Amino acid sequence: MDCDVYVPRLKASISQWRQQGVKGVWIKLPIRHAHLVEPTVKEGFRYHHAESDYLMLVYWIPETPDTLPANASHTVGIGAFVMNNNREVLVVQEKSGAFGAKGVWKFPTGVANQGEDIWTAAIREVKEETDIDTEFVEILAFRQTHKAFCGKSDLFFVCMLRPLSFDINKQDSEIKAAQWMPIEEYMAQPCIQEHESFKYVAEICSGQSNSSCSGFRPVPTLSTSGKKSYTYFNKLQLQNKKKELGG
């Protein structure tokens, strides 16, 4: 669409919206219409969010404070704790990054894709980095960090998975080495001992296999709008309650 056509139409629409008492107006501009960004901003719109291929602009018309929903604020990452029957834990050395440079052996980690469940992301990352098949058990802990990438926050979920296969075939582009390592050896690494949050997690993980009172397990649920979702909680708690009720 040409600016000469777009701008008068936009002006007319805004004055109509104002008359109708419309509050928030959204305009989603595909990246191929990048030439319309400037004229839209000139008419009073601000940016709301952007993805690779579009920019979402918004205009709050009334004088009242804007109640527009916020932009996404968090990235979601996972770390996978996978232990075999010999109390050996699945660890990798990364090719790049601070941990790679120090030669730290760490859990497979990664970022959840847009729209991917936490438990699915954990299984996928372990498979991608080590070729080990796993089933998801539970979330042991999570950490919230702010001012991470681009000022956004991050939620990092430590997931326990049960190995279904044992022969490692490491991914080449990002992983220098992968192995099953005795949990005591993993925990003794200076990097784990030095960082509070790693240390907590390592302690939880090492205790985990003997414990039944535990983390949060996913249960498929429907949201109020009928969307499939997963609710994570301590299932034991619900079972105890049901026993108390004679259920």
Name residues contacting a second copy, limited to 49-108 (CB under 8 A).
Answer: 49-56, 69-76, 98
Q: What are phi and psi of 66, to 5 degrees?
A: -75, 135
Helix H or strand E encompassing 24: strand 24-30
Question: Of 128, 138, 174, 185, which one is the catalytic site residue?
Answer: 128
Neighbours of 122 (CB within 10 A): 30
Q: Which is nearer to a second copy, 165 or 184 (CB)?
A: 184
Q: Which is nearer to a second copy, 5 or 150 (CB)?
A: 150
Pick out residues in 113-172 that bind a second copy (CB under 8 A): 113-115, 117-118, 140-153, 155
118, 78 contact by CB (below 8 A): yes
Pick out residues in 182-241 that bind a second copy (CB under 8 A): 195-198, 200-201, 203-204, 206-208, 210-211, 213-216, 219, 221-224, 227, 229-234, 236-238, 240-241
Burial of 110 (0-12, 13-18, 19+ CB in 10 A): middle
Q: Which is nearer to a second copy, 16 or 102 (CB)?
A: 102
Output the smallest distance, CB 12 to a second copy, in A: 21
Can you tell me the distance from the alpha carbon of 144 to that of 156, in angstroms, rounded to the nearest whole number? Answer: 7
Count of residues that interact with a second copy, criterion CB under 8 A: 84
3-class secondary-structure state, position 124: helix
Output the smallest distance, CB 189 to a second copy, in A: 13
Q: Is 128 a catalytic site residue?
A: yes
Q: Which is nearer to a second copy, 164 or 185 (CB)?
A: 185
Output the smallest distance, CB 223 to a second copy, in A: 5
Can you tell me the distance from the alpha carbon of 145 to that of 157, in angstroms, rounded to the nearest whole number? Answer: 12
Q: Maximum Cα–Cα distance for the chain, whole Å? A: 73
Active site residues: 128
